[in-house]
Structure 1
Amino acid sequence: MEAASDRTIEDVLGPHLDVLFCGINPGLYSAATGLHFARPGNRFWPALHRSGFTPRLLSPAEQDLLPSYGLGITNVVRRATAQAAELSAEEFREGGRRLAALVAEVGPKVLAVAGVTAYRQAFGAPKAVIGPQRSRIGGAAVWVLPNPSGLNAHWTLDGIAGEMRRIRDFLSGGPWPGHCPGAEPDALW
């Protein structure tokens, strides 16, 4: 797995995305396999299914099916590391700029960033919390999700799936559940 350090993983994209999910950066296990959220114990795939985004539990090896459900995956920082703590502040800022450009190009309805600390660093939003944000990035509404890593003991699988389900509710015609009642996201990026 050490050989996977600094590798990148291809984005999973398609036309007409409802949600572009965004991880922090690939871990070494994911980089070694070339698959997003691939490490056993990562709760992304089970949460995605429990939230209702997919009709069955997909394995990381089935990530190419996501665009058929209106979903995609990318990362804030493309470079693989053993821990996100190995990433520099500049890498996060550069990743934020790259992500904003990608979102503007691909045009998802929602950008869902899995990791509040990564979102804060990439977009200069030190007070951001889990949930919908008032800002837009590249034209997309923004939602910050809990990091689905099994190391994130603060959030359960059901809690992560619940946040994803709130995105589905919004996409199904529900109101934007902003931090201020009735608040629609502002343009930022």
Structure 2
Amino acid sequence: MGFTPEELRAARGRLVPDVAAPGLRVLFCGINPGLMSAAAGYHFARPGNRFWPVLHAAGFTPRVLKPAEQEEMLAYGIGITNVVERASARADELSAEEFREGGRQLVEKVRRLRPRWLAVAGVTAYRVAFDDKHAKVGPQECTIGDTRVWALPNPSGLNAHWSLATMAEEYGRLRAAAFAEDGATPDV
């Protein structure tokens, strides 16, 4: 998936539509779309991003989905959105106010869709969006209505603190919690 510099520049500010439905087990939430994702129109479309391999390794999907197959997530009881909707080259181009406003909008979306878990892929983004400076990766104390919240490591290839294996382990903990609540297992 190659894009010209002009195509990537033109993707700045674009939105990538949510893959979501009411009553999901887990609604994953990225920070914001990168330019490659916005140009492609799919979440986590940048080669080297580990989101799709981690979902599979953690047991959420039966195989590694391609970004263009993102709609298949719904069949597995999972979906995806972003804290901040607009695309940028880097997350550090976003202001704290954009994160806070994105967090407010995310809360409204979660109240409307009522997933069992909201999983924010990026603990730093979670801290700013939810004004929780001391949050750590894992389940959070806060809830949004009946929705529990989990902060996950950012799957970006730039996040060298987490290997694919350790990231899959953390995502797997979320999967176990999300599907063990009523004795269900993911249909993968």
Tell me if TM exceeds 0.5: yes
Q: Does 1:136 align with 2:143?
A: yes
Q: Percent identity?
A: 61
1:88-133 Cα offsets, whole Å, 9 max, x none, are 1110010000000000100100000000110000010000011111
Q: How far apart, in 2, do the equivalents of 1:98 and 1:16 lie?
A: 18
| Moved beyond 2 Å, runs of 4+ | 171-174
Q: Which secondary structure state, in structure 2, belongs to the residue aligned with residue 163 of structure 1? A: helix
Q: Name the structure 2 match of 1:48.
A: 55
Q: CA RMSD in A?
A: 1.0
Contact 1:4/1:31, CA 8 A, preserved across alignment: yes
Q: Which secondary structure state, in structure 2, belongs to the residue aligned with residue 172 of structure 1? A: helix
Where structure 1 has 5 or more consecutive residues not aligned to the other structure, the ranges are: 175-189
Contact 1:100/1:138, CA 8 A, preserved across alignment: no
Q: 1:96 to 1:138 in 2, by over 3 A?
A: farther
Q: Once the 2 structures are TM-superposed, how far is the Cα of residue 57 of structure 1 from its aligned partner?
A: 1.0
Q: Which secondary structure state, in structure 1, belongs to the residue aligned with residue 180 of structure 2? A: coil
Q: Does 1:89 align with 2:64?
A: no
How do 1:10-25 and structure 2 match up within 5 A? Answer: 10-25=17-32
Q: Name the structure 2 match of 1:168.
A: 175
Q: Name the structure 1 match of 2:153.
A: 146
| Letter of the 1:139 counterpart | D
| Letter of the 1:119 counterpart | Y
Q: Which secondary structure state, in structure 2, belongs to the residue aligned with residue 152 of structure 1? A: coil
1:42-74 Cα offsets, whole Å, 9 max, x none, are 000000000000011110000011111000000
Q: Does 1:67 align with 2:81?
A: no
Q: How many residues align?
A: 174
Q: Does 1:38 align with 2:79?
A: no
| Letter of the 2:10 counterpart | A
Q: Which secondary structure state, in structure 1, belongs to the residue aligned with residue 118 of structure 2? A: strand
